[in-house]
């Protein structure tokens, strides 16, 4: 999870020569690798799910091959995460944060709502208990 923590606060875009912002393939690849490894998935398994070979996945993860925009949703689906999980920076996470978020994203919308309500109750209960 060190790679994810190291990349979580790095901007994912850079200026291209045309002035447009582009996604940094190395950082995107690092995120893909971190998520894949957290899922316990091999490069071969991911490759099979996205109709690529293992070498392509390795090149993606090392930032040596650009990922086409139309492949991003396919990769996110194979990793069972929302597309935004691959793109956007968030607060610095540790391994437990990443695991919790990955499990949360496996739930349907109704169950997520219930899980969030339960988490808020737990948080309030433990916070108030610690303050006593």
The residue-averaged pLDDT of 95-116 equals 85
Structural Rg of the chain based on CA atoms = 17
Global pTM exceeds 0.75? no
Q: What is the pLDDT of residues 70-83, one digit of tens each?
A: 999 999 999 988 88
Q: Give one word for 20, left, alpha or beta, with left for phi > 0 and alpha for psi -120 to 50.
A: beta
What sections of 10-79 are H helices per DSSP? 25-38, 43-49, 54-61, 72-79
Residue 75 Cα distances to 35, 61, 123, angstroms? 11, 12, 33
- Structure confidence at residue 14 (pLDDT): 42
What backbone phi and psi angles, to 5 degrees, belong to 36?
-60, -45
The residue-averaged pLDDT of 88-114 equals 78
Q: Which helix (H) or strand (E) holds 86?
A: helix 84-87
- Structure confidence at residue 16 (pLDDT): 43
Q: What is the pLDDT of residues 59-72, one digit of tens each?
A: 999 999 989 889 99
**Structure tokens, 31:** 């995120």
Confidence of residue 51 (pLDDT cuts 50, 70, 90): very high
Average pLDDT, the chain: 78
**What fold characterizes domain 2-131?**
434 Repressor (Amino-terminal Domain) (1.10.260)
Q: Is residue 96 scored above 60 in pLDDT?
A: yes
- Structure confidence at residue 132 (pLDDT): 61
- Structure confidence at residue 6 (pLDDT): 31
């Amino acid at each position: 999870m060190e790679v994810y923590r190291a990349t979580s606060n790095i901007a994912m875009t850079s200026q291209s020569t045309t002035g447009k912002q582009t996604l940094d393939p190395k950082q995107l690849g690092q995120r893909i690798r971190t998520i894949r490894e957290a899922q316990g998935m091999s490069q071969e398994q991911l490759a099979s799910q996205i109709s690529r070979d293992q070498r392509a996945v390795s090149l993606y993860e090392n930032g040596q091959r650009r990922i086409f925009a139309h492949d991003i949703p396919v990769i996110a689906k194979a990793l069972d995460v929302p597309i935004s999980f691959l793109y956007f920076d968030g607060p610095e996470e540790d391994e437990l944060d990443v695991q919790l978020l990955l499990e949360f994203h496996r739930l349907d919308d109704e169950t997520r709502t219930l899980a969030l309500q339960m988490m808020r109750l737990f948080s309030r209960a433990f916070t108030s208990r610690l303050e006593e």
